[in-house]
């Protein structure tokens, strides 16, 4: 008698995780020192970000489709409500002002962005081609706010890496070629298993998919 063949389907990394999985991830993140709010959608996150950041704060935004699509990037980098770091550094000379660029991007009052994956065990995975947002994410910024679509919730770290390499990177590579004329790469990787300063990082976990 032949042994039945087990068919394993690949995860659909674009599909939003159901609410019970979001709640498991949120509980694990809270246990690891992250502040977490589960919100309905990007519109709710956009409103909440405006409440969380005081007027006049220095704010650095990571390059993020989530921020762009939600309108949060525009809110933070235009209008004059905040001391927006990204427009400033884009106008600076990288050959002569690199030290000041590093200082500005590494130690803002608030850094806002997204991540590649968050696990149901309470870890966060961030990948970067340049690494510009990683110092602020990992501890340089006074506060960090991450807006994370429900499709980025995965069971564990191996699945997070699979999601990053097989799903997020190809999409980001396409975006980078279109915007910058060069491919993207996973040159730097940040995995945060806990936040040692409870509440420094706020995770806005959405019930809908957005971004890569």
Query: What pLDDT is recorded for position 107?
Result: 98
CATH code, 173? 3.40.50.10420
Domain of 133, in residue numbers: 19-206
pLDDT of residue 8: 36
For 9, residues 6+ apart whose C-beta sits below 8 A from its C-beta are: none
pLDDT given at position 145: 98
User: Could you tell me the pTM of the whole model?
Assistant: 0.93
Q: How far apart are CA 124 and CA 119, in angstroms?
A: 6
pLDDT of residue 10: 54
- Name the nearest CA neighbour of 114 among 16, 23, 210, 44: 210
Our count of domains for the chain comes to 1
Tell me if 5 is assigned to some domain. no
> What phi, psi does 203 have (nearest 5°)?
-100, 120
The beta-strand segments (E) located in the chain are 35-39, 58-61, 83-84, 110-113, 117-119, 124-128, 143-148, 153-154, 188-192, 201-206
Is position 211 within any domain? no
Spans in the chain with pLDDT lower than 70: 1-10
Q: Maximum CA pair distance of the chain?
A: 74
Dig out the tokens for 95 from the structure: 């050959």
Give a yes or no: residue 40 inside a domain: yes
Q: How many helices (H) and strands (E) does the chain have?
A: 9, 10
Q: Is residue 153 situated within a structural domain?
A: yes
**CA nearest 190: which of 125, 110, 113, 130?**
125
Q: Is residue 124 part of a domain?
A: yes
Which pLDDT does position 179 carry in this prediction? Answer: 86
**Any domain includes 7:** no
**Is residue 56 situated within a structural domain?**
yes
pLDDT tens per residue across span 128-187:
999 999 999 999 999 999 999 999 999 999 999 999 999 999 999 998 899 889 889 999
The confidence score (pLDDT) of residue 7 equals 32
User: Pick from 36, 23, 26: which is nearest to 144 by CA?
Assistant: 36
In a domain, 2, yes or no: no
């Amino acid at each position: 008698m032949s042994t039945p063949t087990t068919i394993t389907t690949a995860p659909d990394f674009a599909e939003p995780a159901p609410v019970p999985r979001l709640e498991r991830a949120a509980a694990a993140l809270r246990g690891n020192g992250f502040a977490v709010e589960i919100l309905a959608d990007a519109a709710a996150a956009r409103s909440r970000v405006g409440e969380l950041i005081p007027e006049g704060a220095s704010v650095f935004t990571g390059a993020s489709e989530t921020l762009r699509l939600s309108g949060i990037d525009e809110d933070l980098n235009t209008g004059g409500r905040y001391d927006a770091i990204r427009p400033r550094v884009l106008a600076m000379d990288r050959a002569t002002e690199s030290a000041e660029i590093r200082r500005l991007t590494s130690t803002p009052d608030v850094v806002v962005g997204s991540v590649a994956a968050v696990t149901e065990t309470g870890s966060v995975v961030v990948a970067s081609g340049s690494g510009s947002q990683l110092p602020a994410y990992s501890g340089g910024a006074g506060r960090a706010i991450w807006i994370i679509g429900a499709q980025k919730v995965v069971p564990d770290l191996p699945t997070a890496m699979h999601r990053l390499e097989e799903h997020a990177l190809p999409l980001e590579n396409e975006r980078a070629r279109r915007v910058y004329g060069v491919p993207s790469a996973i040159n730097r990787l940040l995995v945060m298993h806990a936040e040692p300063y409870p509440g420094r990082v706020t995770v806005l976990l959405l019930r809908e998919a957005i971004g890569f």
